[in-house]
Amino acid sequence: MSALLRVEHLTMRFGGLIAVNDLSFTANRGDITALIGPNGAGKTTVFNCITGFYKPSEGRIALAHGAPQMWDELTALTRRDARSITRPDGALFLLERMPDYLVAQRAKVARTFQNIRLFPGMSVLENLLVAQHNPLMTASGYTAFGIFGIGNYDRAERAAIANARHWLDLTALTDRADDPAGDLPYGAQRRLEIARAMCTAPVLLCLDEPAAGLNPRESAELNELVLRIRTDHNVSVLLIEHDMSVVMKISDHVVVLDYGVKIADDVPAAVRDDPKVIAAYLGVEDEEVGQVEAEVGL
């Protein structure tokens, strides 16, 4: 089991507010890693740091493609003031040094959003083709060839549509392919957002509360989908979720945040029984506050 993503001493400050404080955790390749915690614990901030939308105040976020030996380069890369190194057997990226679009394009980290961000006025199929922008851009010779209809753009577009079709089938959206994305019901929009993220061919998929607003049947289907993404497509998943039926059933590993601090990091069963986690979620009696705070290290 090798690490895919290593978050080390991540701190994010907004003025005087410390949203994430010295957080370190590892997401292993092929795992579904859940990031849970009460509202305002800093989970989405962690996501925004990983995907490059925020520049962390401190800390290192590294992601490796390919051979596990790539991790040996980590210290050298950090010293070298470069964003990434690529070797024939893999690549290593320092995500905190990369702008958001390069995190998606090079490091192959895809994400969804807590409040769905589709392209509502574009058709479902177009949403999935926009996700394949970079390979299509190369195929169209950065527009220079595509505009004159030379080169293999048409073939690349057909392949992109076939790939989109595959994800439409998996998310049961094929009959809505030509409808505007904004017309889909809520649950379908959530699935489309996942399908769109998967169309970027990621190695790590970051899902920000994918089950929010879904009914029990839809969340069960979501579990299926996420498990299939992991097993059939060999994509690791990082998951923020409040719905414990999703978290406990599908995740291999759970990291619990409270007020920006990591309070637990273990397999789901162990996390479920952790008194600190229970205290964070359910609160504690007044007389126990001091004791729990001492345990948590506040």
**Of 199 and 261, which has the nearer Cβ to other proteins?**
199
Kindly state the tokens that stand for 181.
């994305």
Among 31-39, 83-91, 129-137, 288-296, the segment contacting other proteins (CB under 8 A): 129-137
Instruction: Give me the sheet containing 58-66, strands edge to edge.
Output: 17-28, 3-14, 58-66, 90-94, 84-87
What is d(CA 298, CA 290) in angstroms, rounded to the nearest whole number? 9
Q: Using CA atoms of 271, 277, 282, 284 in order, give the dihedral in degrees to the nearest 10.
A: 140
Query: Number of residues in contact with other proteins, rule: CB under 8 A?
Result: 47
What is d(CA 35, CA 240) in angstroms, rounded to the nearest whole number? 5
What is d(CA 221, CA 250) in angstroms, rounded to the nearest whole number? 12
Least distance (Å) between residue 204 CB and other proteins: 13
**Could you give the angle at which helices 153-170 and 186-198 cross, rounded to 10 degrees?**
130
Least distance (Å) between residue 124 CB and other proteins: 9
Binding to other proteins by residue 147, rule CB under 8 A? yes
Q: For residue 277, give the H/E element and its range.
A: helix 275-282
Among 17-25, 26-34, 101-109, 233-241, the segment contacting other proteins (CB under 8 A): 101-109
Q: Which of 41, 49, 98, 131 binds other proteins (CB under 8 A)?
A: 131
Among 178-186, 211-219, 258-266, 276-284, the segment contacting other proteins (CB under 8 A): 178-186
Q: Which of 26, 45, 51, 251 binds other proteins (CB under 8 A)?
A: 51
Binding to other proteins by residue 134, rule CB under 8 A? yes
Binding to other proteins by residue 53, rule CB under 8 A? yes
Kindly state the tokens that stand for 101.
């679009």
Binding to other proteins by residue 100, rule CB under 8 A? yes
**Of 133 and 233, which has the nearer Cβ to other proteins?**
133
Q: Which of 119, 151, 274, 276 binds other proteins (CB under 8 A)?
A: 119
Q: Which of 40, 44, 192, 34 is nearest to 116 (CA)?
A: 192
DSSP state of 123: B
CB 243 within 8 A of CB 250: no
Q: Using CA atoms of 244, 247, 252, 257 in order, give the dihedral in degrees to the nearest 10.
A: -80
Binding to other proteins by residue 179, rule CB under 8 A? yes
Least distance (Å) between residue 129 CB and other proteins: 6
Binding to other proteins by residue 58, rule CB under 8 A? no
Kindly state the tokens that stand for 175.
């009959």
Residues that bind other proteins (CB under 8 A): 51, 53, 100-102, 104-105, 110-111, 113, 117-123, 125-126, 129-134, 136-137, 140, 143, 146-147, 149, 153, 157, 161, 165, 168, 174, 177-180, 182-183, 196-197, 200
